[in-house]
Structure formats: C-alpha cells, structure tokens
C-alpha cells in the first residue's frame, strides 16, 4: 500500500516537472458599433440593417422614385425658362438688337435686366430661398 501511494506520488511529481507550461492568449473585445469605438467601416452595414428592420416607414403618395411629379414638372419648367433667357441673352448681347430692359417674374424667380454703359446687369432673385444672384455681362 505504501508502495502504491509512493508510485502515485512519484508519477504525479514527474508529470508536474516534465509537463509543458500552459499557454493562453489575451482575450480582446472590440465593439462593432463605430459610435462606441468600433471599426468605422461597420457604419454603413449597421445603417443598412437598421433601415431594413425599420417598421415605421412613412406612407407617401409619391411615385416609385420617391419624388413628387408636380415638383419635378415645376423645376423642369423653371430650368427651361432660365435656359431660354440665357440663350436669348447671349444671342442678343452678341447680336444686332440688344437686350430689352425690364422686370420679369417667372415661377420662383424674379429677374431684373438693366443696361449700363459697360454692359448688361442681370439680377435674379429666388423667392423660395431668398437668395439673390447678380450677373454682369460686359460689352466687347
């Protein structure tokens, strides 16, 4: 009996001496959300996941592209009118007749055209934003 316990003790002692040391790696936790220090490349993925899961979407009578057709028509009409005025301005400035002075209100814009001794001054006022643009076209 003493011999068996001595053998067990010796075996345990030898295992302790000749066993390799245990190794472990450091556990590092990194957040996913970039707001909390995570990888900034995860932001788009997180936003997409949130939008897919969003159950409170606004109901709208807009078309499939998310735009109002009447607003598009109004913007298109304003662009065409301004384009026509710019074409007329260039052709009249460099042509024979010249531009007629006046005040014009077209859609969301008020346009004042005045002739000076040095050229033509055009003032465009946008009613929607309150912005004003001044353009001076000199004579050559």
Tens digit of pLDDT per residue, the chain (140 long)?
677 788 888 888 777 777 666 677 888 877 777 777 777 787 888 888 888 888 776 655 555 666 778 888 888 888 888 888 878 776 765 565 555 788 888 778 888 988 888 888 889 999 889 999 998 888 76
134 assigned to some structural domain: yes
pLDDT of residue 74: 86
CA distance 74 to 108: 9
Number of domains in the chain: 1
Distant-in-sequence contacts of 58-61, Cβ < 8 A, 24+ apart: none
Using CA atoms, how far residue 74 sits from 11, 85, 106, 107, 110, in Å, is 93, 17, 11, 8, 15
88 assigned to some structural domain: yes
CA distance 140 to 138: 6
110 assigned to some structural domain: yes
42 assigned to some structural domain: no
pLDDT of residue 69: 81
108 assigned to some structural domain: yes
pLDDT of residue 35: 73
Q: Are 122 and 137 in contact (CB under 8 A)?
A: yes
94 assigned to some structural domain: yes
68 assigned to some structural domain: no
124 assigned to some structural domain: yes
80: domain range? 73-138
């Amino acid at each position: 009996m003493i011999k068996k316990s001595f053998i067990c003790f010796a075996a345990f002692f030898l295992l302790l001496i000749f066993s390799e040391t245990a190794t472990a790696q450091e556990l590092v936790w990194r957040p996913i959300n970039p707001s909390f220090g995570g990888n900034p490349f995860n932001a788009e993925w997180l936003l997409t996941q949130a939008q897919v899961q969003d159950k409170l979407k606004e109901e709208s009578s807009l078309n499939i592209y998310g735009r109002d057709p009447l607003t598009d028509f109004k913007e298109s009409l304003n662009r065409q009118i301004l384009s026509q005025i710019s074409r007329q301005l260039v052709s009249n400035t460099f042509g024979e007749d010249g531009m007629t002075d006046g005040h014009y209100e077209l859609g969301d814009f008020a346009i004042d055209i005045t002739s000076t001794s040095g050229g033509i001054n055009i003032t465009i006022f946008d009613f929607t934003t309150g912005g004003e643009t001044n353009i001076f076209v000199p004579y050559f």
